[in-house]
Chain A
């Protein structure tokens, strides 16, 4: 029996070998994204941008004579899923680099996995400063929270808001980070924090905090959260008769904010990474290409950052002349003035990107560019 069985087990074995050989012809790049779940709008945007970049690169002939193969894993926006997804990409797909995540909390899950495996990771949009502190293989192509918090504090002072309240999600590394740097710059600049309230990720009811904020009588409320809760916070604030402006960071930028928030989000302000209205030819070319590829959808900041993250990776690979992890890492660290759609990207000694921020508002149910604030 044993002898008879043997020939049957051989073909699959050969098939595996053949597949392995075939896989050598492409460069596999892993992506962890929140394609579904609470922050799906972010994940979808960054994924669409990343995929478009990979397609552009492949059309141009790829890098080192090979084409890219983007392998994407969805983490459903859930805590705890990202590390698993990253491990899967590293062990099953043997990717040469990891792209993702948008949310800082989830990038912080992926970073240790990438660092331990010594595989470069580039976060497109995680702005919390600790993300790249995880280790020498962790990079990002966006500005960081100290900068974003500082920008919004400067903005608030410039608008003449003397007294503001903060409402911060304590379960989000991003929110806490922005809140901290906002407070530093704002109070140093002469502003007064009249009320500081917090919430946690799964909260839906913010009326208690908002009632207390209303009683404190403030000029504006700084809410460095993500669009879902920001929309609910805006709505509940208006229901309680709070008419002062709300403002926050790049977590606000999603069309879902407009859908859920409706008229309640009119007049809010937030900082973000780029403007699709920027007249620069590179930006307009990207906007057009994105619209053509994705049913006329206008790319938001997450899409632009996703696009840039893949381009920065390809650029480093070209300069390194190999996909070998150590050389790729060194090339990434040496990135200087790379022209992307979100501005010129230079990687500093902490593996962060320094670039300008754009301030947006909501006007007549649409996002509108207000001003740009340089680093």
Chain B
């Protein structure tokens, strides 16, 4: 569904991504794991159009989206839940959700999606009139995912969804992600520092180090790889 070929991104003179290639098949959950500064977030930002790539191509459903601006990429059904959630802090939960459906013009569809999102995240329903800035970290993360779902994406990119969440909430959130993937057929590209968790929910994984993919394979295989265990899974 998404094919990244030889993608390179630079911040000034520093290469953040250096010839990264991978494929995300329709219906799957693929994860990118790696340490700080490995290039995981950069990959997602380049795919969603927030960053300009210096080389390489990105195709989505067979069409080249490498040079498209972010709003056109979203319009094709590729949604990005950024690192740090980036909810609109001064807007209410309801307003945040309606911002998520920015490109949807049909009010009936918007209403239907909101019901759906609130069913998935019942806690947001209790907080609809509250401004997003006053929510807890876990609630903000749910709002960020919910906002992305309001656009009716075919493909969801999640950047560090577990960051700063209590372990109980992390489990709950990953359950929801699996649900979204299984029952709604949304393809997921997941970036996680928590490699153990990421490998548990995904079917295929790539390991990034210093802007290059150093290891790839089915998640179950990688989970038992001794090198990976030593580096990311804490022995």
Tell whether any CB of A sits under 8 Å from a CB of B in the complex.
no
A: residues with CB less than 8 A from B are: none
B: residues with CB less than 8 A from A are: none
